[in-house]
Amino acid sequence: MKMTFRWFGDGFDAVTPEQIRQVPAVKGVISTLYDTMPGEVWETSAIKALKARVEGAGLELSGIESVNIHDDIKAGGNSRELYISNYIKTLERLGECGIDLVCYNFMPVFDWTRSDLAKPRPDGATVLSYDGDIIENMDFEDMLKSLESKRGEFVLPGWEPERMARNKELFGIYKGVDEDKLRENLGYFLKAIMPTCEKYNIKMAIHPDDPAWSVFGLPRIVKNKDDLHKIAGLVDSPCNGITLCTGSLGSNPDNDLPDIIRSLKGKIHFAHVRNIKHLGYRKFDESAHLSEDGSLDMYEIIKAFHDIGFNGPLRPDHGRMVWGEVAMPGYGLYDRAMGVCYLSGILEAVRKGKV
């Protein structure tokens, strides 16, 4: 396992690669061209500049999170061929720059969802929180306003204002797209891109839905063990794999994470490891990474990754906002750095243990 850290790029992230370089164990960053829109072809010069920036700080560019997918590909719209061919061009350019990991998601309209981006905890930290009672009684516009009010100066990943301004239109194109249709569209996309991925050895790693259930009536196809195995079976290629995100899958207490990890041996290309605290049916707070602070057993999770021989990039995921830090919600430096140290400690113990 290689410890990495997500970084959104200069001008978008309050954290710098120089700061990340000082977090023990971190060898690389996972980044993106944050100012590109889904469907765009990435410029080789911009990819090279990103790589040079990261390497100049003494880190490696360990993968891209994300190259986002245009909604016409997800919904199977008329222009999907154009956007698939654009995606392939971007993959070729990434491959030529030596990138071998691309995280993506197949969530309609928007990525992750929370009812609160800064819920205060008794310890004075704030965390992202999800309360199904609140979300289910909101319409999407209210949800957008609520996120806008707490994001500060930061653009939230997957919630680009330009796209969200078109949300009614976006919801419209998914009319008639159920889970089976969405999965079929994912298979169509994967079959089209796999020859390019294989040529450049780019491992595609789909991110689970967050939370792991349908919201606002949209279909969701990456929620549990069964869904993940269906996706792994859509195309038989070593480049078709999974981002195993413990926080997203773990939002549903029925998901047995160590069992899911073990069952996907060889199919996990990237790991997001964080803890969450279950508060009731479809209610949870994000927590510190420590097992005792949340509901997930981080020792058993790291041990499962170790046992299946997972050797790809792993990164801490959302952290609490602590010590007065101002950063993108979930992506402060301090609590994620604490998460890295904690996860690294578990990993060292697991590696040295006689098991």
Tell me which residues in 250-289 interact with Mn ion (CB under 5 A): 272
Would you give the DSSP letter of residue 2? Answer: E
Residue closer to Mn ion by CB (options 76, 330) is: 330
Dist CA 132 CA 281 (whole Å):
8
Rank residues 5 and 83 by Cβ distance to Mn ion and give the closer one. 5
Instruction: Report how far residue 274's alpha carbon sits from residue 248's, in angstroms, rounded to the nearest whole number.
Output: 9
The residues assigned a catalytic role are 207, 245, 272, 317-318, 331
C-beta of 72 vs 209, nearer to Mn ion: 209
How far is Cα 244 from Cα 337, in angstroms, rounded to an integer?
Answer: 20
Site string for Mn ion, 287-326 (x = CB under 5 A): ------------------------------x---------
How distant is the alpha carbon of residue 161 from its chain centre? 19
Residue of the chain from 245, 257, 264, 268 that contacts Mn ion (CB under 5 A): 245
Q: Where are the alpha helices (DSSP H) in 117-224?
A: 132-136, 140-150, 161-164, 167-173, 179-200
CB of 339 to Mn ion, least distance (A): 13
Nearest to 7 by CA among 334, 343, 332, 322: 332
* Closer to Mn ion by Cβ: residue 39 or 250: 250
Q: Distance between alpha carbon 66 and the CA centroid of its chain, in Å?
A: 8
**Angle separating helix axes 179-200 and 225-232, nearest 10 degrees:** 50
Q: Which residues bind Mn ion (CB under 5 A)?
A: 245, 272, 317
